[in-house]
A and B are shown apart, each in its own frame.
Chain A
Amino acid sequence: MRIVNHPILTFEKGREVEFTFNNKKMKGYEGEPIAAALHANGVRVLSHSKNLHRNRGFYCAIGNCSSCLMTVNGEPNVRVCTEKLMEGMVIETQNGRGDLK
């Protein structure tokens, strides 16, 4: 959910763009972190642990902890808490470690 009125802050947003999350169309703002856009769309489960496949969300939100790795435009292990959202991005839940191209 997005904050509409805040007593102290105003939020500068990029233009509205479309992206897909596991083939589902969603909207977000260009330049915001992918994780923020997903969260605003109600998506909190971002990845799964490698061995036990437990659900994972983000933890630190500033690129330190690697809890939020996803596949973005085919590239695995992207930290979506810092990676910026762009028009038409294809964002997918990652299975396993991902392959290097």
Chain B
Amino acid sequence: MRKTEIAVIGGGPAGLMAALAAAEMGANVTLIDRNSRLGGQLVKQTHMFFGSEKEYASVRGIDIGKILASEVMKNPKITTMLDSTVIGYYPDDGVLGVEIEEKKFVKIKPEKVIVATGASEKFLPFKNNDLPGIYGAGAVQTLMNEHGVVPGKNVLMVGAGNIGLIVSYQLMQAGVNVKAIIDAAPKIGGYLVHASKVARLGIPILTSHTVKAAYADQLTGALERAVIWQLDEKWQPIPGTEKVLQVDVMCISVGLSPLAEILWQAGCKMKYVPQLGGHVALRNENMETSVPGIYVAGDVAGVEEASSAMIEGRLAGLNAAKSLGYDNGTYAEKREEALKQLESLRSGPVGEKIRQGLAQLVS
């Protein structure tokens, strides 16, 4: 059985920062990721980030991923396991079961665990919602920005949050026509700067609209057209407002839900918090869950965005290292700084939902 001081599960923005912060304090870290490269979903984010300079504002997500991954790879205190999927946690003896390359199973016993597994895309109920051609918006982003393949010719984007707006822009960049962006809410959920960008490209954004049904091309069996309709102020569809859109791709961008299986297995106290995307672990300000020694960071701790995921990762890494007795003298200062950065990212009207969610969670 392998041993490590801190196991970090997931090499996205939160996990990378957690590993770096813990190593910086002096701890030995094993970073485990199921992909063959680090960076998580940063690898497909071609837009520039906001936030503060420390979290790489004005740098494109893909480049942030590369910077952090290269820092991790050259850090002698961090062992990286790629193509390795954590498939179980055994709470009785605190052991992680990991499937590594060639379908081999290994066990790792860490002293502390930081879970940074991210989130997966939600789905939307409507007639024929399982047709090929109906994809998660993030999936289309992966296909297009990571693998260089476009999903089709004409797209209906469902959801006018930041992901829906950004992916619409990126589809147009790749030469795909976005026919419309619709959202069930009466107003656009994403940042104005992203909405303005797609509006300048001439993409109509229809608020108070949802999908009624999707229909397949008889020949190919994949999506051919979508029917949308308007919602009234009580979110009820208005008969007679149906519009038909000839689209071979529909992107669903209606939010993410945390990938929390390991936290359930570990027996962490979980709570359903809609503002944070689903079931999330109760935790303290140091990102430690109700099971001592198990920390969370990033979307699995509550769906938010990459800048806050990075700071949460940093916080979890600092605290996990500190709990093992590592402190190079800068712990208190760095912890304080991270907490302040999170507070500033979550301030203002945009952070309202996250603040409401976290108020139910953090002790």
CB proximity of A1 to chain B, nearest CB, Å: 5
Q: Which residues of A contact B140 (CB under 8 A)?
A: 61
Which listed segment binds A: B87-95, B146-154, B237-245? Answer: B146-154
Does the CB pair A1–B136 fall under 8 Å?
no
CB distance from A77 to the nearest CB of B (A): 13
B222, closest chain A residue (CB): A44
User: Is A61 within 8 A of B138, CB to CB?
Assistant: yes
Distance between Cα atoms of A56 and B148 in the complex (Å): 22
Complex CA gap A2/B144 in Å reads 9
Q: How far is the CA of A57 from the CA of B139 in the complex (A)?
A: 11
CB distance from B236 to the nearest CB of A (A): 27
- Residue B295 lies at the interface, judged by CB distance under 8 Å to chain A: no
Contact of A55 with B216 at beta-carbon distance under 8 Å, contacts A39-B143, A64-B120 already known: yes
Known: A1-B150, A45-B222. A8 touches B173 (CB 8 A): yes
Residues of chain A with a CB closer than 8 A to B62's CB: 9
Query: Is B132 within 8 A of A56, CB to CB?
Result: yes
Quote the shortest CB–CB distance from B235 to chain A (angstroms). 25
- Contact between A6 and B138, CB atoms less than 8 A apart: no
A32 at the interface (CB under 8 A from B): yes
Chain B residues, Cβ within 8 Å of A82: 35
Known A55-B131, A62-B142, A64-B259: A6·B173 in contact at CB below 8 Å: yes
CB pair B134–A44 under 8 Å, yes or no, is no
Tell me if B133 counts as interface (CB < 8 A to partner A): yes
Say yes or no for B174: interface residue by CB 8 A criterion: yes
Considering the chains assembled together, what is the distance between the CA atoms of A33 and B41 in angstroms? 16
From A13, A39, A54, A59, residue with most partner B Cβ within 10 Å: A59
Say yes or no: is A69 at the interface (Cβ < 8 Å to chain B).
Answer: no
Residue in chain A with minimal CB distance to B174 = A3
Whether A89 sits at the interface, judged by CB under 8 Å, is no
Which of B120, B150, B174, B222 is in CB contact (< 8 Å) with A55? Answer: B222
Instruction: Kindly report which residue of chain B lies nearest to residue A61, judged by CB atoms.
Output: B139
Q: A60 near B136 (CB under 8 angstroms)?
A: yes
B139 and A58 within 8 A (CB): yes
Q: How far is the CA of A13 from the CA of B146 in the complex (A)?
A: 11
Of the candidates B138, B148, B152, B222, the one whose C-beta lies within 8 Å of that of A3 is: B148
Please determine whether B150 and A65 come into contact, CB atoms closer than 8 angstroms. no
Q: Given A61-B139, A63-B34, A1 and B222 touching (CB < 8 A)? A: no
Asked whether A45 lies within 8 Å of B221 as measured between CB atoms, the reply is: yes
Residues of B at the A interface (CB closer than 8 Å) are 34-36, 41, 46, 60, 62, 120-121, 123, 130-136, 138-140, 142-145, 147-152, 173-175, 216, 220-222, 259
* Partner-B contacts on A (CB < 8 A): 1-3, 6-9, 11, 13, 32-33, 35-36, 39-40, 44-46, 49, 54-65, 67, 81-82, 84
The 4 closest A-B pairs by CB, nearest first: A57-B132, A61-B139, A11-B148, A36-B147
The 23 sampled A-B contact pairs (Cβ below 8 Å) are A2-B149, A2-B150, A3-B149, A9-B148, A32-B147, A36-B147, A36-B148, A39-B143, A39-B151, A44-B132, A45-B132, A45-B221, A45-B222, A55-B222, A58-B135, A58-B139, A61-B135, A61-B143, A62-B142, A64-B120, A64-B259, A65-B120, A67-B130
